[in-house]
Amino acid sequence: MPGAPSLLLALLCLGARGAPGEPDEAWCPYKVGADGARLCFRTPARGFQCAPRGCRAHRSAGGALVANVLRNGSVLLQWGLGHWGAPRPSAASLRGFALNCSWDGTYTRFPCDSVELGAACRDYLLSEAHGSVRYRLCLQPRSAPPRPAPPAQCVEFRVEPAAMRDIVVAMTAVGGSICVMLVFICLLVAYITENLMSPAVARAAAAAPR
């Protein structure tokens, strides 16, 4: 018999789908492995689009899972059921999602926190990701028996290290300041040449014996 937390999560997932024709609820129930039996809720990031300057999108081989790596070090995962491989999960049999994560260290691969998400969830935020390591995240739908479980969709990506982002920002700021100073120096030299040196040269030429 499943435990009380798992049963409560399943009931919440069923209730989150709502009746046919009704819009999805404005919250997503999930449970993180490191948090034990505690349930959490988050508001989905509806309408989010990965801007090229501040975000880099990585898509799974099947196209159903996308990892949006943001410049602040966080990662927003988005997924849909339309691009899932066969057997494709249906809304009637869907019971939620299981998210597994791992990242490559210097000598070995380390597991991330496993997450259980409700059936209404279509995104999940990794607020703090390590820089300079390669992540691998796999998302698998959970279907009610006897329907077979759909295959997992996996995506791999690398987060830009925070130190490198700070160095780039600092170099950009310093470079801009240096350019402004060089322009100011050039204008000052041109002003001195035009207004101070020219009269002196003219007087010297007039005073010279012929």
Residue 47: the pLDDT is 85
Residue 41: the pLDDT is 92
Class of the domain covering 28-160: mainly beta
Strand partners, 144: none
Residue 118: the pLDDT is 93
Residue 172: the pLDDT is 55
pTM higher than the cut 0.75? no
Q: How far is CA 72 from CA 6, 38, 105, 121, in A?
A: 33, 27, 21, 23
CA 127 – CA 139 distance, rounded (Å): 18
Residue for token pair 């790596």: 69
Residue 155: the pLDDT is 95
CA 37 – CA 190 distance, rounded (Å): 73
Peptide linkage before 161 cis (omega within 30 of 0) = no
Ranges of the chain whose pLDDT falls below 70: 1-25, 34-37, 162-177, 180, 196-210
Assess contact for 57 and 67: CB atoms under 8 A: yes
Assess contact for 65 and 117: CB atoms under 8 A: no
Residue 73: the pLDDT is 86
Residue 64: the pLDDT is 93
Assess contact for 104 and 134: CB atoms under 8 A: yes
Question: ∠90-92-94 over CA atoms, to 5°?
Answer: 65
Q: Count other Cβ atoms within 10 Å, centred on residue 102.
A: 15
User: Domain limits of the chain?
Assistant: 28-160, 161-191
Residue 197: the pLDDT is 58
